[in-house]
Amino acid sequence: MSTVPKSAVPKSAPPRSADPSASAILPTYARAPVAFERGEGSWLVTAEGERYLDFGAGIAVNSLGHGHPHLVGALTAQAAKLWHTSNLFGQPDGERLARRLADASFADLVFFCNSGAEALEAAIKTTRKYHAAGGHPERYRIVTFEGAFHGRTLATIAAGGQKKYLDGFGPKVDGFDQVPFGDLKALEAAIGPETAGILIEPIQGEGGLRATPPGFLRALRALCDRHGLLLVLDEVQTGVGRTGRLFAHEREGIVPDVMALAKGLGGGFPVGACLATREAARGMTAGVHGTTFGGNPLAMAVANAVLDVVLADGFVEGVARKGALLAQRLAELKDTHPRVIEEVRGEGLLAGLKLRPPVADFAAAARDARLVVIPAGDNVARLLPPLTVSEDELAEGVRRLDAACRAIEAALPAGAAA
C-alpha cells in the first residue's frame, strides 16, 4: 500500500543543472579539494586511504581526536537508550553536565544549546535582561572589539562587526559598539549610560590568534565592576582545555559574569553552553529563552564523556606541556624560514603562524604535505591538533610544516628579502 500521495510525485522533473556533477550544497564555503571518510585519533583518512595529520581538529572541535573510544561508547550507549525528549522534561545528564561545568568554573547556572552562535545569543540576551530585570531596560548596548568573531546569526555578526559578514544582510542589529582590540582608552570612552556589558574573546580565534595584552582582562573586570557592567567572555574556541588551562581567562586570575562555550565541549558532537553567575542570570526566568534541541540526551552524554577526560587529573596540564613544546618547535621553524613565517602566536594547543605568503597558499602546501591546518584572519595559519595529540605527532606535524615552508620558498623569487 503506497502512502505517497500522487500529487507529491513529479511527472517529469525539469533538469536542475546543466552539470549533473554540480554540488547541490549552497556554495557559502570555499572547500579544499579533499574529503575524509574516517578518522583515527590525530589522523584523517580519505576514501583512497591517504592519511592526513589533523592539526585542524574541525576548527578546535574534535578536542579528543577522532573515534575516541570513550566518546564513541558514550554516544552509542545513549543512541540505544533515548535521543530526544525536549526541554519540557527533566534531563538528568544535562543536570550532571551543568553541575560539573559550574563546579569547574565561576558559574552557577548553564543554558545548553547547539552551537557557538547560539551560546553567544544566549549570552547577549542574558546581559540585556540582567539590566532590564534591575529596572534599566535602556542599558542594552554591548562593547565589542575589532577583529572579533562571535558567529553568523544576525546579532552575532553585529557583535563581530566585520563588514564582510554584515554586507547585504540589511540593517545591522542595534546595540553593539566596537572599539580597537586591546585599546583601554577607546573602551572607556565607549561606555555610556546605555552600556550593559563588554564582550571579548580572551584570544581572538578567527581574527588570527590575537591575544589580549597582559593585564587587559583584569582591567576589563575592574571597569565592569566600576560601571555595573557584565563581563562576557566568548570562550567558544579557547575553552575546555584548548589553551592549556580549562578556560583561557584563568590566565589572568579573573572571572567573567557570563561565558559562551561550544566547539571543544562536544568533541565533535554539536553542543553549546552559556554559563552565568546566578546574579547575572537574574532575568532569565521560565519562558524568556528556549531551544528545541539544546541539551538533548545525545549531546549531554557526549559532553559529559568529554569532561570525564578533560577534567581528569593532569590532562589540562598535559595540554600546557605539549603546547610549550609546540611553541618551541615553531620558534625554531620561524628561525629556519624567516621568508615564510613572520611570527608564532597562540597559547597551549591554540597555536598559529603569522605568514608572509598568503595563508591560502600555505594551507595548500601543508595539504600537499598531508597536514591539515586552518586559515584565520590576519594571514595566520592556525594549528589546532586534538588535545590528545602525542609528542611524536607534534614532531611529525612540525616536519610537515617544514616541508610546506620549503615548498613555498622554492616558489619564491630567488634572493627575495626576508
Ligand X SMILES: *Cc1c(COP(=O)(O)O)cnc(C)c1O
Q: Mask 225-264, x = binds ligand X (CB under 6 A)?
A: ---------x-xx------------------------xx-
Q: Which residue number, 179 or 203, has a Cβ lying nearer to ligand X?
A: 203
Stretch that binds ligand X, among 32-40, 70-78, 86-94, 143-151 (CB under 6 A): 143-151
Report how far residue 371's alpha carbon sits from residue 400's, in angstroms, rounded to the nearest whole number. 7
Task: Write the DSSP string, 2-45.
Answer: --S-GGGS-SSPPP--SSTTS--S-S-S---S---SEEEBTEEE
177 binds ligand X (CB under 6 A): no
C-alpha cell at 27: 556554495
Active-site choice (112, 129, 176, 263)? 263
Q: Hunting for cell 624567516 — which residue is that?
A: 338
Number of residues that bind ligand X (CB under 6 A): 15
C-alpha dihedral (210, 208, 112, 349), degrees to nearest 10: -80
The residue nearest ligand X at its CB is 116
93 binds ligand X (CB under 6 A): no
Q: Which residue number, 347 or 393, has a Cβ lying nearer to ligand X?
A: 347
Q: Is 263 a catalytic residue?
A: yes
Q: Is 234 a catalytic residue?
A: yes
210 binds ligand X (CB under 6 A): no
Q: Which residue number, 177 or 234, has a Cβ lying nearer to ligand X?
A: 234
Which of 121, 201, 257, 393: binder of ligand X (CB under 6 A)?
Answer: 201
Interaction with ligand X in 102-141: which residues (CB under 6 A)? 115-117, 120
Q: Is 112 a catalytic residue?
A: no
Residue 260 CB, nearest approach to ligand X (Å)? 7
Stretch that binds ligand X, among 7-15, 48-56, 101-109, 149-157 (CB under 6 A): 149-157
Active-site choice (54, 93, 177, 234)? 234
Long-range contacts, stretch 50-54, CB < 8 angstroms, 24+ apart: 50/370, 51/370, 52/367, 52/370, 52/371, 52/372, 53/370, 53/371, 53/372, 53/393, 53/396, 53/397, 53/400, 54/372, 54/385, 54/386
User: First and final CA of the chain: distance in angstroms?
Assistant: 74
C-alpha cell at 352: 598559529
C-alpha cell at 285: 526566568
206 binds ligand X (CB under 6 A): yes
Distance from chain centroid for Cα 244:
15
DSSP letter, residue 173: P
Which of 52, 55, 149, 362: binder of ligand X (CB under 6 A)?
Answer: 149
Residues recognised as catalytic: 149, 234, 263
Which residues are at the interface with ligand X (CB under 6 A)?
Answer: 115-117, 120, 149-151, 201, 205-206, 234, 236-237, 262-263
